[in-house]
Structures are given as structure tokens and as C-alpha cells.
Structure 1
Amino acid sequence: MELKTVTYELKDEIATITLSRPHRRNAWTGRMHMEYRHVLEKADKDAAVRVIVVTGDPEGKAFCAGADTAALEGHSEKGKYDAGTTPDIAMPGFGVREEFDATFAYHFGLTKPVIAAINGAAAGIGLVLAAYADLRFAARGAKFTAAHGRFNFPAEFGLSWVLPRIVGLGHANDILLSSRVFTAEEAKEMGLLNRLCAPAELMDAVYDYARGLAAGVAPGSLRETKWQIYGDQHRPPAEAVRASEALLEAMITHPDYKEGIKAWMEKRPAAWKGGKG
């Protein structure tokens, strides 16, 4: 697929997906969703990728300013919602669990962690995208809003499910019922952000953390732990315990277990093989 609204770069086992419509503050369109899912699937299938970073083109002075206003006008004129995508859209993360097989929830089925590097405003779908990332780093002064209330929309794309699980019901109610603008500093206090950074230091902090994941955690452990985190929210604790015990028995036979022990004893970086083996 020819990329017109996102860019893709792989370096040091980190795939960086950049939302790139700077003239529109990286606003979301159907075309962008098509391209985003295409490169997300590419990164997830590439054994050379260990961590995925999603950010906004800095020239747009935003992470993602939400749905493009032209798309919103189109919905109004048509009298119905049009996602702007086609049936051949990529399906990253699908097929792991039925609960993950939906728009944006597909992030939970990916085999690799996703870090949102929020370098500016995250509004509407921008907030959705950040919420479905596994980790969120943001620049000081960045602004957030669900935005849907002013358009007579519902909370979008499962935000009513994911936000209470990140920030708690009280903060989620504040964000979703008011659609108010709130700052990165407030977001950090709520627990929405893992780290708050000076704007000039954001990407360095994100890549340092990503390199730590790539070097210090076996690929299989990252994959299975991510699926446990999201999958266990759909079952009782006893089932989660039994599932983790079964995984432990299976994963201890993988070569990466022996390599991890050996590397630890020899005080050296591990040479992970990855895969399910």
C-alpha cells in the first residue's frame, strides 16, 4: 500500500508509526485508518520488530486532532456514519480473542507492546488511539479531550470500556460526560499517562524505554503477558491463575527460558530467539 497519511520506520528493533497530515494537525481519516492498520500489521508480523511506537508528525503540532472536519461534515450530509474504509482493510491483532476483534480493540491482540508518544493535542480519535496503546508518554502542555459531546456522539470506539480501566470510574466520567479539554499534567495525575516529559525530551524517553523492553524482556514474555493483561479482564481470577500456570509450563520449554537464565548468570544481554517454539 502506498503511504500518504502515515510514515513507517524501523530502527533498533523499534517500529515507529507517525500520523502524518501536518497541514490538518494529523487529523484522522478513513485513508489514515487503512494505512495505519496496514503498517501496524506489518510491524506485528516482522520478527525484527520488538516494540511499536505511535506518534504524530511534529509539524502538525498535535498527536492527532481527532476526525478530520471534512469527514464530520460528510457524516452530516449523508445522515449516517461512514468509516471511509474498504473491505480489504488489514486486520492486525484479529483472531487472538473474540473480545479483541473490533476497531481499535485490535491493539489488544497484537504480539508486541505499543507505546503512544503523545507530542501534542490528542482529541477524539486521538484520545482513543492513545487509550488503546499499552503505554502512554506525553509532552508537558499537551491537551486531551474526548470531544464527542459537542457533536451529539456517544463515547467513541469503546472509550467507555477502556478509560475506566485506566483511570478509574470517577475520572472516566469526568472525561467522557463533560468532553472537556484537560492537560497532560492532569492526565498524569489521573493515571492516564505513564510518563510526562519536556517536549524536547519526549522521543528520547520513549525510545530509551522501548530499547529497555527490547533488550530486557523475551519476545514471548511480552506477547503472552500483554494477552494476559487484556484477556484476564474477561474472566474470573481463578481462570486467570490456571491459565497462567498452563502458560508457565509451556513457556519453560522454550529456548528463550534457558537463554534468559544463562544470560542472567553470565551477566550479559540475552540473545532472544522469539517465536512460540
Structure 2
Amino acid sequence: MELKTTRYEIADGVAVVTLSRPRRRNAWTGRMHTEYRWILREADADPAVRVIVVTGDPEGQAFCAGADLQALEGHSEKGGYDPGTPEDLANPGFGVDPHFDASFAYHFGIGKPVIAAINGAAAGVGLVLAAFADLRFSAPGVKFTAAHGRFNFPAEFGLSWVLPRIVGLTHANDILLSSRVFTAEEAMAMGFLNRVVPAEALMGEVTAYARKLAETVAPGSARETKRQIYRDLHRDAASSVAAAEALLVAMAREPDYREGVKAWMEKRPPRWGG
């Protein structure tokens, strides 16, 4: 696929996906969503990729400023919402669990950790992208907002499901019912962010963290642990224990289990086979 609104780079096991519409503050469009889903499908299938980082083009001075306002104006004139995506959209993460087979929920089916490097404003769908990432690092002072209340929209793309599970019902109600702007520092205090990092060091720290995951965590372990986390949001404790025990038996037969033990005993970096 020709990438017009995104960039995609791979180095040292880390794929970096950059939302790149800098003249529009990296605002979301149907084209961007189409490219983003295609990239995630490619990254998930690529054995050279162990971790995925999502960020905004720094020239746009935003992570993602939400839906493009010109597109919203067009929807208003047409009298209805149009996602602007083709029928043959890529379906990254689909088929793992029916609970994940929907827009943005597909992040949970992707078998690799997804880290949001939030280098500027995250509004509307930008907040959605951050929320559905597995880990969130942000520059100081970044502004967040759900934004939907200003446009007579509902809470978008599952925010009403995912935010209470990240920050609790009290904070989620504040964010979603008010559509107010809140800062990275507030987001950190709520538990929405993993770290706040100086802007000039953000990508360096995120990529270092991602490389550490790629080097030290077996790909199979990362994949199954991630899926356990999100599946367990829908099942009881006994079912979680039973599933974990079955996975333990199966994964102990894999070569990367033997490699992990051997590397630990020999005090050397593991050589994962994936």
C-alpha cells in the first residue's frame, strides 16, 4: 500500500508507526485509518517486529488532534457520519477472540505490545488510539480530551468501555461526560499514563523501552500474556487460572522455553526463535 498519511519504519525489532499529516496536526481521516490498519496487519505478521510504537509527526505538533474538522464539516453538510474507509479494510488482530473484532478493539488481538509515544495533543480519536495501546508514554504538558460532547457525538470507539478499566469509573465519568481538556500530569495521576518523559527524550526512552522488551521477553510470551490480559477482562478468576495452566503446559514444550532457561543459566542475552 502507498502510505500518504503515515510512515512505517522497522529497526532492532521495533516498528515505529508515525501519523503524518503535519499541516493538519496529524488529524485522523479515513485514509489514515485505512493505512494504519494495513500497517498493523503487516507488523503483526512480520517476525522481525517484536514491539510496535505509535507516535505523531513532530512537525504536526500533536499526537493526533482527532478527526479532521474539514471532514466533520463535510459530514454535517451531508447530514450523516461517513468513516471514509473502503470496504476491503485490513483486519489486524481479528480472529483471535470475537471480543476484539471491531475498530480499535483489534489492538487487543495483535500479538505484539503496542506503545503510544504521545508527543502532542491527543483529542477524540487520538485519545482512543492512546487508550487502546498497551502502554502510554507522554511528553509533559500534553493536552488530552475526548471532545465528542462538543459535536453531539457519543463516546467514540469504545472509550466508554476502555477508560473505566484504565482509570476507574470516577475519572472516566469526568473525562467522558465533560469532554474537558486534561493534561499529561493529570493523566499520570489518574493512572492513564505509564510515564511522563521530557519532550526531547520521549522517543529515545520509548524506543529504548521497546528494544528492551524485544530483547528480553520471548515473542510467544509477549503474545500470550497480552491476550491473557484482555481476555481476562471478560472471564472469571477460575477460567483465567485454567487457561493460564493450559498455556503453561503448551509453552513449556516450545524451543524458546529451553532457550530462556539456558540463557538465564549462562548469563547471556537470549536468542529467541519466535
Q: Give the TM-score of the pair, scaled to structure 2.
A: 0.99
Identify the residue that residue 196 of structure 2 maps to in structure 1: 196
Instruction: Please state how far the C-alpha of 1:257 moved relative to its aligned partner.
Output: 0.3
2:258 aligns with: 258
Deviation at 1:253, TM superposition (A): 0.2
Cα distance between partner residues in 2 of 1:265 and 1:87:
52
**1:208 deviation in Å?**
1.0
Is residue 76 from structure 1 mapped to residue 76 from structure 2 by the alignment? Answer: yes
**Hey, what does 1:151 align to over in structure 2?**
151
Deviation at 1:175, TM superposition (A): 0.4
Partner residue, 1:162: 162
Query: Structure 1 CA distance, aligned partners of 2:231 and 2:76?
Result: 37
Q: Distance in 1 between matches of 2:3 and 2:211?
A: 26
Q: Secondary structure of 1:270's match?
A: coil
Alignment pair present for 1:267 and 2:264: no
- Secondary structure in 1 aligned to 2:7? strand
Matched, 1:19 2:19: yes
Measure, in 2, the Cα distance between the counterparts of 1:263 and 1:28: 44
Shift of 1:109: 0.2
Counterpart amino acid of residue 260 in structure 2: G
Map 1:203-222 onto structure 2 (within 5 A): 203-222=203-222
SS in 2 for 1:239: helix
Q: Deviations over 1:193-226 (max 9, x none)?
A: 0000000010011011101101110000000000
Q: How far apart, in 1, do the equivalents of 2:2 and 2:77 lie?
A: 29
Listed as ranges, the gaps of 5+ residues in structure 1 are none
Instruction: Give the letter for the 1:105 counterpart.
Output: A
Shift in Å at residue 252 of structure 1?
0.3
Alpha-carbon distance in structure 2 between the residues aligned to 1:86 and 1:24: 22
Q: What's the offset of the Cα at 1:75?
A: 1.5
Q: Aligned AA for 1:243?
A: A
Residue deviations 1:217-251, cap 9 Å, x none?
00000000000000011111100100000000000
Structure 2 CA distance for aligned equivalents of residues 199 and 172 of structure 1? 26
Q: 1:114 is matched with which residue?
A: 114
Percent identity (aligned): 74
CA distance in 2 between partners of 1:110 and 1:168 (Å): 24
Q: Distance in 2 between matches of 1:79 and 1:168?
A: 35
Quote the Cα distance in structure 1 between the aligned partners of 2:126 and 2:109.
Answer: 20
Give the match's secondary structure for 2:53. strand
Question: What's 1:52 paired with?
Answer: 52
Deviations 1:31-86 (CA, angstroms, capped at 9, x unpaired): 00000111111111000000000000000000000000011112111211111001
Q: Which amino acid aligns with 1:207?
A: T
RMSD: 0.5
What residue in structure 1 maps to residue 225 of structure 2? 225
SS at match of 1:18: strand
SS of 2:122's equivalent in the other structure is: strand
* Displacement over 2 Å in runs of 4+: none
Query: How far did 1:105 drift?
Result: 0.2
Q: Distance in 1 between matches of 2:229 and 2:74?
A: 38
Describe the SS at the equivalent of 1:137. Answer: strand
Deviation at 1:127, TM superposition (A): 0.1
Superimposed CA distance per residue, residues 147-176 of structure 1 (whole angstroms, 9 cap, x where no aligned partner): 000101110000000000000100000000
Aligned pair 1:10/2:10, yes or no?
yes
Distance, in Å, in 2 between the alignment partners of 1:226 and 1:263 is 23
Q: Distance in 1 between matches of 2:164 and 2:212?
A: 28
- Counterpart of 1:94 in structure 2 is 94
Q: Counterpart of 2:186 in 1: which secondary structure?
A: helix
- Secondary structure at 1:81 match in 2: coil
In structure 2, C-alpha distance between the alignment counterparts of 1:75 and 1:95, rounded to whole Å: 32
Distance in 2 between the 1:223 and 1:109 partners? 9
Question: Helix, strand or coil for the counterpart of 1:10?
Answer: strand
